Structure 1
Amino acid sequence: MKQIYDVIVVGGGPAGIMAAMASGKLGADTLLIEKNGFLGGAATASVLGPISPFHYKDEQVINGIPQDFMDRMVKEAGSTGHMKTLDPYGSGDSLGFYDREKYKYVAVEMLKEFGVDILYHSMIDSVDCDNFKLTGLTTVSKGGDRLHFSAHVIVDATGDGDIAVRCGENYCIGDPVEHKFSPSSAMFEMANVDTEKVFRYIQENQEDFEFLSDIVPMREFDDRLKQHYFVGQGFKKLVKKAVEAGDLEFGRDSVIVLNGIHPNTMHFNATRICGLDATDVVKRTESEIDGRRQINSVSEFMIKYVPGFENAFVSVTNAEIGVRETRHIEGMHTLTGMDVYEGRKFEDVVSRGYFPIDLHNPDGKEGYGNGGVWKVPKDTYDIPYRCLIPKHIDGLILSGRCISGTSEAHGSYRTQGGIMGIGQASGVAAAVCAKNHVQPREQEVKEIQEELIRLGASVYRDEEKAKAEKARARKIAQEYIKEHEGNLITLPEILKEYED
Structure 2
Amino acid sequence: MKTIEADVVVCGGGPAGVNAAIAAGRSGAKTVLVERYGFIGGMSTAALVYPWMTFHTLQGKQVIKGIAQEIVDRLAAMNGSPGHLRDTVGFTNTITPYHPELYKVLAVDMLKEAGVKLLLHSLMHEARTEGGRIESVRLATKSGKIDVKGKVFVDATGDADLAFLAGASCLQGREGDGLTQPMTMKFRMRGVDQARVKRYMIEHPDEFYAKTPFDELDRLPLSGVLGFFKHWKRANLPINRDQVLFFTGPADDEVLVNTTRVQGLNGLDAEELTEAEELGRKQVLMVASFMTANLPGFEKASISNVGAQIGIRETRRIDGRYALQAEDVVQGRRFPDAIARSGYPIDIHDPSGKGVTAAWVQGDGAYDIPYRCLLPKDIDNLLAGGRCISTSHEALATTRLTPSCMATGQAAGTAAGLAARSGRTPGELDVDLLRRELAAGGAVVE
Report the Cα distance in structure 1 between the residues aligned to 2:427 and 2:215, rounded to whole angstroms.
Answer: 43
TM (norm. structure 1) is 0.85
In the alignment, which residue of structure 1 is the partner of 2:50? 49
Report the Cα distance in structure 2 between the residues aligned to 1:432 and 1:452, rounded to whole angstroms.
Answer: 11
Choose from 368, 388, 395 the match for 1:409.
395
Within 5 Å, which residues of 2 pair with 1:331-346? Answer: 331-346=320-335
Within 5 Å, which residues of 2 pair with 1:23-422? Answer: 23-56=24-57, 57-85=59-87, 88-89=90-91, 92-141=92-141, 143=142, 145-211=144-210, 212-213=212-213, 228-243=221-236, 248-365=237-354, 367-368=355-356, 372-378=357-363, 379-422=365-408
Q: Is the 8 A contact 1:189 1:315 kept in 2?
A: yes
In the alignment, which residue of structure 1 is the partner of 2:9? 8
In the alignment, which residue of structure 2 is the partner of 1:221? none
Report the Cα distance in structure 1 between the residues aligned to 2:149 and 2:396, rounded to whole angstroms.
Answer: 31
Report the Cα distance in structure 2 between the residues aligned to 1:377 and 1:179, rounded to whole angstroms.
Answer: 28
Report the Cα distance in structure 2 between the residues aligned to 1:253 and 1:340, rounded to whole angstroms.
Answer: 26
Offset from partner CA, 1:298-344 (integer Å, 9 cap, x none): 00001111121111110011111110011121111111111111111
Q: Is the 8 A contact 1:213 1:231 kept in 2?
A: no
Report the Cα distance in structure 2 between the residues aligned to 1:233 and 1:374, rounded to whole angstroms.
Answer: 17
Kindly tell me: are residues 120 and 86 of structure 1, through their superposed partners in 2, closer, same or farther at Cα, counting changes over 3 Å? closer
Q: Is the 8 A contact 2:361 2:367 kept in 1?
A: no
Report the Cα distance in structure 2 between the residues aligned to 1:337 and 1:43, rounded to whole angstroms.
Answer: 25
1:346 Cα deviation after fit? 1.2
Report the Cα distance in structure 2 between the residues aligned to 1:216 and 1:71, rounded to whole angstroms.
Answer: 26
Offset from partner CA, 1:179-201 (integer Å, 9 cap, x none): 12211111011001111112212
Q: Is the 8 A contact 1:161 1:402 kept in 2?
A: yes
- Identify the range of structure 1 (377-386 vs 184-193) with the bigger mean alpha-carbon deviation: 377-386
1:84 Cα deviation after fit? 2.1
Q: Is the 8 A contact 1:87 1:93 kept in 2?
A: no
Offset from partner CA, 1:386-425 (integer Å, 9 cap, x none): 1111101111111111111101111111101111000000
Report the Cα distance in structure 2 between the residues aligned to 1:374 and 1:431, rounded to whole angstroms.
Answer: 35
**Equivalent residue letter for 2:101:** E
1:249 Cα deviation after fit? 3.2
Report the Cα distance in structure 2 between the residues aligned to 1:382 and 1:241, rounded to whole angstroms.
Answer: 43
Q: Is the 8 A contact 2:89 2:225 kept in 1?
A: no
Choose from 419, 425, 428 the match for 2:411.
425
Report the Cα distance in structure 2 between the residues aligned to 1:216 and 1:120, rounded to whole angstroms.
Answer: 45
Offset from partner CA, 1:60-91 (integer Å, 9 cap, x none): 111111111110000011001111236632xx
Q: Is the 8 A contact 2:88 2:225 kept in 1?
A: no
1:144 Cα deviation after fit? 6.7
Report the Cα distance in structure 1 between the residues aligned to 2:225 and 2:65, rounded to whole angstroms.
Answer: 28
Q: Is the 8 A contact 2:345 2:358 kept in 1?
A: no
1:28 Cα deviation after fit? 1.0
Q: Is the 8 A contact 2:225 2:246 kept in 1?
A: yes
Percent sequence identity over aligned pairs: 38
Report the Cα distance in structure 1 between the residues aligned to 2:261 and 2:322, rounded to whole angstroms.
Answer: 31
**Equivalent residue letter for 2:232:** V
In the alignment, which residue of structure 1 is the partner of 2:435? 449
Report the Cα distance in structure 1 between the residues aligned to 2:394 and 2:215, rounded to whole angstroms.
Answer: 28
Partner SS state of residue 72, structure 2: helix
- Computing the radius of gyration from Cα coordinates, the structure with the larger value is 1
Question: Alignment length, in residue pairs?
Answer: 440
1:441 Cα deviation after fit? 1.2
Partner SS state of residue 79, structure 1: coil
Report the Cα distance in structure 1 between the residues aligned to 2:26 and 2:368, rounded to whole angstroms.
Answer: 24
Offset from partner CA, 1:210-264 (integer Å, 9 cap, x none): 24347999xxxxxxxxx93232211121122222xxxx33231211122121111
TM (norm. structure 2) is 0.95
Q: Is the 8 A contact 2:341 2:369 kept in 1?
A: yes
**Equivalent residue letter for 1:307:** P
Q: Is the 8 A contact 1:189 1:260 kept in 2?
A: no
Q: Is the 8 A contact 1:242 1:301 kept in 2?
A: yes
Kindly tell me: are residues 118 and 290 of structure 1, through their superposed partners in 2, closer, same or farther at Cα, counting changes over 3 Å? same
Report the Cα distance in structure 2 between the residues aligned to 1:232 and 1:6, rounded to whole angstroms.
Answer: 45
**Equivalent residue letter for 1:31:** V
Q: Is the 8 A contact 2:89 2:209 kept in 1?
A: no
In the alignment, which residue of structure 2 is the partner of 1:473? none
Report the Cα distance in structure 2 between the residues aligned to 1:266 and 1:338, rounded to whole angstroms.
Answer: 35
**Equivalent residue letter for 1:329:** I
Report the Cα distance in structure 2 between the residues aligned to 1:385 and 1:228, rounded to whole angstroms.
Answer: 38
Q: Is the 8 A contact 1:188 1:314 kept in 2?
A: yes
Q: Is the 8 A contact 2:331 2:361 kept in 1?
A: no
Q: What 5-or-longer segments of structure 1 have no aligned partner?
A: 218-226, 461-500
Q: Is the 8 A contact 1:328 1:406 kept in 2?
A: no
**Equivalent residue letter for 1:342:** Q
Kindly tell me: are residues 292 and 86 of structure 1, through their superposed partners in 2, closer, same or farther at Cα, counting changes over 3 Å? closer
Report the Cα distance in structure 1 between the residues aligned to 2:18 and 2:215, rounded to whole angstroms.
Answer: 27
Supply the RMSD in Å over aligned alpha carbons: 1.8
Report the Cα distance in structure 2 between the residues aligned to 1:125 and 1:42, rounded to whole angstroms.
Answer: 20
